[in-house]
């Protein structure tokens, strides 16, 4: 068993990762690092079960021990749990997309954009209902925008998940934030789901329209002009973003940070906004700029995609948590649900 240690550490970070060797075979490792000082860093998260794909950050001196083994979630792992199975390339991964529930400015018919507005009571109920729809689908990681309405939607949805893991927002804005939000119980870590917030997933910025009433704006500037600002692909509102500009940042973030997790077999949920999600769906479904402008997403309704053999396959929206044979389910998801039933009944 390989082991390396460097001393004089001042903090502890645990990490699980999936890597591929020159023959493109996946190898799963568990790492335990003790952080000494800032300098070079690794995109580590306190990952509880399974594996996590890494990206560089920056730290210098570390204490590290490695072992070629994997901690398995008894629900999401294959039922036989053999070592040979753990090294197989992931056969598929689930991707859940949820537009946030109704916000207080949605209710008032105001342009919201990047203004940080919370959910209404109806929005809270929509988020909870969304959680019921995905309560039998495995979730290993959650990505949200930096805006509270998307974060509320993700957190409320997870209260309904039958696995009962706790979503934990990772604070990486400073060394102090990372240190103060550290979890020191391995058992607790295994029952948590990391939540990563990213401004790149924010709603498109509506510029000088933000805070204006939509009906009054149409009367002031004309319905055609406002419709052009809202529904065209490449024409932004005054000092704001077009859908094309929003897509550039949202899709780039998805490809760099989220897609690699799916390729490693991680099941991911994204809670975001109408335009950032339309942008990602444009990439997933290979839509044209004309096709995406007519795409409408309802608040609080989850969409399910499966990544299999390098292709994203849309499976629609799970109908309800009590229906075993919903069209949205694949064989792997059905097996996950069966193991979930068995665990909760035992």
Structure tokens given for 104:
């207080």
51, 28 Cβ separation under 8 angstroms: yes
Structure tokens given for 218:
């149409």
Q: Residue 27: enclosing H or E segment and its boundaries?
A: strand 26-35
CA 93 to chain centre: 12
Known catalytic residue: 203? yes
Spatial distance between the Cα atoms of 274 and 99, rounded to a whole number of angstroms? 6
Structure tokens given for 37:
């000082």
DSSP 134: T
Q: 143 has which bridge partners?
A: 196, 270
The dihedral through the CA atoms of 187, 188, 193, 199 has a sign that is negative
Residues annotated in the binding site for substrate, as ranges?
99-106, 112-113, 149, 203-206, 214, 230-231, 274-275
Q: Which of 126, 203, 241, 259 is catalytic?
A: 203
Spatial distance between the Cα atoms of 163 and 340, rounded to a whole number of angstroms? 7
Q: Which of 100, 126, 161, 259 is catalytic?
A: 100
Structure tokens given for 96:
């859940």
Q: Residue 39: enclosing H or E segment and its boundaries?
A: strand 38-42
Query: Parallel, antiparallel, or unpaired: how do β-strands 192-197 and 141-144 relate?
Result: parallel
* Residue 82 burial (C-beta neighbours within 10 Å; 0-12, 13-18, 19+): exposed
* Residue 11 burial (C-beta neighbours within 10 Å; 0-12, 13-18, 19+): middle
Known catalytic residue: 7? no
Catalytic site positions? 100, 203
């Amino acid at each position: 068993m390989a082991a390396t240690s460097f001393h004089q550490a001042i903090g502890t970070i645990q990490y699980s990762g999936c890597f591929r060797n020159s023959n493109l075979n996946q190898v799963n490792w568990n790492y335990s690092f003790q952080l000494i000082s800032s300098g070079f860093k690794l995109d580590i998260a306190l990952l509880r079960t399974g594996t996590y794909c890494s990206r560089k950050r920056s730290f210098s001196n570390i204490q590290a021990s490695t072992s070629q083994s994997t901690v398995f979630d008894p629900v999401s792992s294959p039922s036989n749990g053999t070592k040979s199975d753990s090294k197989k390339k992931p056969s598929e991964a689930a991707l859940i997309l949820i537009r946030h529930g109704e916000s207080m400015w949605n209710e008032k018919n105001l342009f919201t954009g990047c203004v940080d507005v919370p959910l209404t009571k109806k929005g809270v109920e929509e988020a909870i209902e969304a959680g019921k729809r995905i309560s039998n689908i495995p979730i290993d990681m959650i990505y949200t925008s930096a805006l509270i309405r998307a974060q509320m939607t993700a957190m409320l949805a997870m209260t309904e998940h039958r696995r009962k893991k706790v979503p934990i927002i990772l604070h990486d804005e400073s060394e102090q934030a990372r240190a103060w939000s550290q979890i020191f119980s391995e058992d607790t870590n295994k029952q948590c789901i990391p939540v990563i917030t990213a401004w790149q997933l924010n709603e498109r910025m509506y510029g000088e329209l933000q805070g204006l009433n939509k009906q009054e704006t149409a009367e002031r500037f004309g319905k055609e002009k406002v419709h052009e600002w809202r529904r065209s692909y490449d024409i932004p509102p005054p000092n704001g973003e077009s859908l094309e500009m929003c897509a550039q940042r949202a899709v780039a973030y998805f490809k760099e940070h989220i897609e690699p997790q799916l390729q490693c077999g991680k099941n991911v949920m994204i809670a975001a906004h109408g335009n950032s999600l339309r942008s990602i769906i444009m990439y997933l479904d290979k839509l044209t700029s004309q096709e995406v402008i007519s795409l409408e997403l309802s608040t609080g309704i989850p969409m399910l995609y499966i990544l299999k053999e390098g292709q994203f396959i849309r499976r629609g929206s799970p109908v309800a948590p009590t229906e075993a044979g919903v069209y949205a389910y694949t064989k792997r998801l059905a097996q996950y649900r069966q193991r979930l039933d068995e665990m909760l009944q035992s």
